[in-house]
């Protein structure tokens, strides 16, 4: 078993920030209706950089690292195919591949964070990464629903094929994860509503388990001293 590199979750955090900031930055500087082709190219660049940067956080095991690298390269290849062929199947495969890579990264980071062996800056960054990855995973699940039911998924979003809504879906995911529930975007599909409240439950349980684990670890260290 290979020990994780020091501050390895900084790579993952940097990749996530890059991925999250790119779509709203395009919308800010290119206008409210960002052309689909421009957004697809930018998201391809964002997902590619996110995958290649984040894969360096999978240092705990050599085979997991190689597996993550293969998924990242596959993710990029599928995203390129979806960009050029504009096929429903390729776009669906691209969304699923991103989900797989995010789940793997979330598992690796979560296993390190919830071991509570070392409560340091790297562990805290890892805990933030797990939370951000949860929001990304649910957002990509919503993207899958939108691909399957584009007109009956959300109220408050217009899927006219002329603009991208990825940043809005990501916004809805984190609003749901934090249970803020502003109400400007609401799910219409009954199954999608079920997925949304499962995300709320996940966000609440994550914070509860994380805080209780950190408190227990801190008390254990005090007693040991």
* Position 1 confidence tier, pLDDT thresholds 50, 70, 90: very low
Nearest to 65 by CA among 46, 78, 52, 50: 52
The rounded distance, in Å, linking the Cα atoms of 174 and 199 is 9
Report residue 34 as tokens.
Answer: 């960002």
Q: What is the pLDDT of residues 184-215, one digit of tens each?
A: 889 988 888 999 999 999 999 999 888 888 77
| Chain centre distance of CA 146 | 17
The SS3 assignment for 97 reads helix
* Position 3 confidence tier, pLDDT thresholds 50, 70, 90: very low
Q: What is the pLDDT of residues 101-112, one digit of tens each?
A: 888 888 888 887
Percent of the chain with pLDDT strictly greater than 90:
16
The rounded distance, in Å, linking the Cα atoms of 71 and 51 is 9
Q: What angle do CA 153, 158, 164 make, to 5 degrees?
A: 100
Report residue 21 as tokens.
Answer: 């900031």
Residues 6+ apart with CB under 8 A from 209: 114
Q: What is the pLDDT of residues 55-67, one digit of tens each?
A: 766 655 677 777 7
């Amino acid at each position: 078993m290979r020990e994780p590199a020091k501050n390895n979750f900084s790579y993952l955090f940097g990749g996530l920030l890059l991925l999250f900031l790119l779509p709203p930055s395009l919308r800010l500087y290119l206008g409210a209706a960002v052309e689909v082709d421009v957004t697809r190219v930018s998201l391809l660049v964002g997902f590619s950089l996110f995958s290649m940067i984040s894969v360096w956080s999978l240092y705990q095991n050599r085979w997991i690292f190689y597996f993550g690298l293969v998924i990242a390269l596959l993710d990029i290849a599928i995203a390129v195919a979806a960009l050029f062929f504009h096929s429903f199947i390729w776009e669906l495969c691209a969304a699923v591949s991103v989900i797989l890579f995010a789940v793997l990264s979330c598992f690796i980071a979560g296993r390190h964070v919830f071991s509570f062996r070392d409560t340091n800056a790297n562990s805290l960054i890892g805990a933030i990464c797990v939370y951000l990855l949860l929001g990304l995973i649910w957002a990509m699940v919503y993207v899958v629903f939108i691909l399957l039911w584009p007109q009956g998924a959300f109220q408050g979003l217009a899927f006219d094929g002329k603009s991208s809504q990825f940043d809005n879906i990501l916004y809805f995911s984190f609003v749901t994860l934090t249970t803020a529930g502003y109400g400007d975007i609401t799910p219409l599909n009954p199954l999608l509503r079920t997925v949304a409240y499962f995300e709320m439950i996940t966000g609440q349980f994550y914070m509860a388990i994380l805080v209780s684990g950190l408190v227990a670890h801190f008390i254990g260290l005090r007693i040991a001293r």
